[in-house]
């Protein structure tokens, strides 16, 4: 089988999005419900803590002194908000193993019809859930190395950052210091993506081991730079959408109910675009994963008990 090039991987994205739009929207709605629940809980905590504090309005408008006062005044509430956000992130992280497994299974098996797609999504997500959890544990040492590289890089430029007089002097050294950690993070993220694809594609036929699959995926990604370029393209589009939203929103304050609704729709649109990008990148990874050499079959040796 001929190995697909970068153009083939990019082209697989729009085809998958157009074919499984319903699956994409269903996952987006589920994510939005989690985010909306978190936002409502945070807004309730903020209302109870700062509704009767006029200085909070000044802090929202950018007054640094008012912001510092509100942080000190509402420290318990801010800690509660941190707990709510952390809980929501952990909940979605646990759910994401099922969601990503379901999406990967759909893209790998290419079912026809809504009913068959839903059954494949649920079956694949349930089958690979614990496997993905073990894969996350295998990837944990790599994340520790990334944190160490990040801390080391920031520590080397800490003095220059403290004495920075403008944005260029602040963000220039910081970007250079975090670049090695960012590159390492991208490699490890790509390795985990291809390991998940391999575990889903070969689960029924070969049942590969998690550790062996992770190591094989690491070697595969290092031998095939197109995997890193393809993944980097997804991150570039992700950053481009985010930057475009920030640019368009700058200098356009939104007040009242109409402004709140407009802001909500805009943010949901940006979130949907980000999910479309991620869905398309995953489709390309599945397309390339089909061409990988097959892993060795796991053979179970049964020993008959001696009578």
| Whole-angstrom distance, CA of residue 42 vs CA of residue 33 | 14
Q: Quote the mean pLDDT of the chain.
A: 84
pLDDT at 58 over 90: no
Residue 306 binned pLDDT confidence (cut-offs 50, 70, 90):
low
What are 253-268's pLDDT values in tens digits?
655 556 667 777 888 8
Quote helix, strand, coil % in the chain, to nearest 5.
80, 0, 20
- b (16+ CB within 10 A) / e for 121-139: beebbebbbebbeebeebb
Exposed, middle or buried: residue 27 (CB in 10 Å: 0-12, 13-18, 19+)? buried
What sign does the CA torsion over 136, 241, 82, 28 have? Answer: negative
Q: Which residue has the tokens 């694949």?
A: 124
Note the pLDDT of residue 224.
92
Give me the residue label for tokens 């026809």: 112
* Cα separation, 107 vs 286, whole angstroms: 7
Q: Is residue 305 within a helix (H) or strand (E), and if so which, with residue range?
A: none
Is the pLDDT higher at 43 or at 210? 210
Percent of the chain at pLDDT above 90?
A: 42
The pLDDT confidence band at residue 307, using thresholds 50, 70 and 90, is very low
Nearest of 153, 232, 157, 154 to residue 187 by alpha carbon = 232
Q: Where residue 119 falls among pLDDT bands split at 50, 70, 90? A: very high
How much is the average pLDDT of 154-181? 75
Q: Report pLDDT for 219.
A: 93
| Local structure of residue 113 (DSSP, 8 states) | S
As a whole number, mean pLDDT of residues 93-116 equals: 90
- Give residue-wise pLDDT tens across range 105-116: 999 998 988 899
Domain boundaries, the chain: 6-289
Name the band, by pLDDT with cuts 50, 70 and 90, for residue 213.
very high
79-98 average pLDDT score: 87
In whole angstroms, give the CA distance from residue 222 to residue 220: 5
**Is pLDDT at 228 greater than 90 in this prediction?**
yes
CB atoms within 10 A of CB 213: 23
Minimal CA–CA distance to 280: which of 101, 20, 26, 99?
Answer: 20
pLDDT of residue 268: 85
Tell me what pLDDT residue 163 has. Answer: 66
Residue 24 predicted with pLDDT over 90? yes
Question: Is there a contact between 100 and 128 (Cβ–Cβ < 8 Å)?
Answer: no
> Of 263, 268, 267, 266, which Cα lies nearest the Cα of 253?
263
Q: Which runs of consecutive H residues, i.e. helices, occur in 204-255?
A: 210-223, 225-249
- Count of Cβ atoms closer than 10 Å to residue 194 Cβ: 24
User: How many CA atoms within 13 Å lie on the side-chain side of 18?
Assistant: 5
Which position has the higher pLDDT, 207 or 178? 178
Render pLDDT for 143-167 as a digit per residue (tens, 0 to 9).
999 999 988 888 887 777 666 666 6
Q: Residue 36 — very low, low, confident or very high, per pLDDT cuts 50/70/90?
A: confident
Sign of the dihedral defined by the CA atoms of residues 27, 32, 98, 104, in that order: positive
Inform me whether the pLDDT recorded for 171 exceeds 50.
Answer: yes
Q: What whole-number distance in Å separates Cα of residue 183 and Cα of residue 31?
A: 28
Asked if residue 5 lies in contact with residue 226, where contact means CB atoms within 8 angstroms, the answer is yes
């Amino acid at each position: 089988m001929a190995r697909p090039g970068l153009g083939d991987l990019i082209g697989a994205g729009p085809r998958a999005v157009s074919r499984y739009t319903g699956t994409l929207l269903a996952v987006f709605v589920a994510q939005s419900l989690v985010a909306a629940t978190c936002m409502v809980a945070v807004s309730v905590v903020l209302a109870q803590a700062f509704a009767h504090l006029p200085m909070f309005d000044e802090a929202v408008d950018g007054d640094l002194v008012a912001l510092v006062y509100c942080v000190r005044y509402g420290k318990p509430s801010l800690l509660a908000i941190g707990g709510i956000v952390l809980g929501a992130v952990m909940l979605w992280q646990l759910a994401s193993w099922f969601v990503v497994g379901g999406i990967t299974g759909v893209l790998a098996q290419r079912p026809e019809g809504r009913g068959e797609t839903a059954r494949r999504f649920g079956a694949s997500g349930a089958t690979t859930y614990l496997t993905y959890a073990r894969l996350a544990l295998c990837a944990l040492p790599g994340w520790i190395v990334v944190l160490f590289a990040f801390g080391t890089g920031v520590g080397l430029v800490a003095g220059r950052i403290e004495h920075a007089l403008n944005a260029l002097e602040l963000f220039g050294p910081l970007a250079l210091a975090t670049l090695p950690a960012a590159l390492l993070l991208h490699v490890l993220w790509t390795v985990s993506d291809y390991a998940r694809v391999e575990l889903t594609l070969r689960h029924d036929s070969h049942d590969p081991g998690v550790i062996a699959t992770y190591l094989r995926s690491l070697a595969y990604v290092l031998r095939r730079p197109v995997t890193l370029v393809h993944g980097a393209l997804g991150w570039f589009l992700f950053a481009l959408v985010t930057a475009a939203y920030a640019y368009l929103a700058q200098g356009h304050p939104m007040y009242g109910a109409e402004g709140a609704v407009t802001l909500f729709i805009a943010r949901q649109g940006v979130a949907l675009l980000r999910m479309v990008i991620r869905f398309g990148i995953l489709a390309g990874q599945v397309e390339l994963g089909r061409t990988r050499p097959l892993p060795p079959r796991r053979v179970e040796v049964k020993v008959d008990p001696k009578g």
